[in-house]
Amino acid sequence: MVLGKTLIHGVYVLCYLSRQERGTVVSSEAVAQAVGVPAEHARKILQSLGSAGLVASVRGRAGGFLLSRELEQVSVLEVLEAVSPPVAQDD
């Protein structure tokens, strides 16, 4: 199941970012290498996590990503909702 792997990778990304010194900005390439996923996949996960407010992005030459809040304040459900595609509801 693709969603299962994406959820696990999302959790790995957040765990990796949480191990960085507070305020440290990490490039998507560094995240990809640390988590063991292709760079494009890491960028998509980071973008999804950013849209959900779980990570913040910093633009520019020294840009990258960092946690928006402490990892202990993030639920697995939030990660699942961030990385999963929207589910269509029947009327």
Residue 69's region, left for phi above 0, alpha for psi from -120 to 50, else beta, is beta
Task: Decide if 88 is inside a domain.
Answer: no
Tell me the per-residue pLDDT of 9-22, one tens digit each, with 9 for 90 and over. Answer: 999 999 999 999 99
Task: Decide if 54 is inside a domain.
Answer: yes
Task: Decide if 91 is inside a domain.
Answer: no
Residue 71's region, left for phi above 0, alpha for psi from -120 to 50, else beta, is alpha
Task: Decide if 66 is inside a domain.
Answer: yes
Task: Decide if 90 is inside a domain.
Answer: no
Indicate the number of domains in the chain. 1
> What's the rounded mean pLDDT across residues 48-73?
94
Residue among 6, 85, 81 nearest 43 (CA): 6
Task: Decide if 29 is inside a domain.
Answer: yes
Task: Decide if 89 is inside a domain.
Answer: no
CATH number for the domain spanning 56: value is 1.10.10.10
Full domain range(s) for residue 79: 2-83
pTM of the model: 0.87
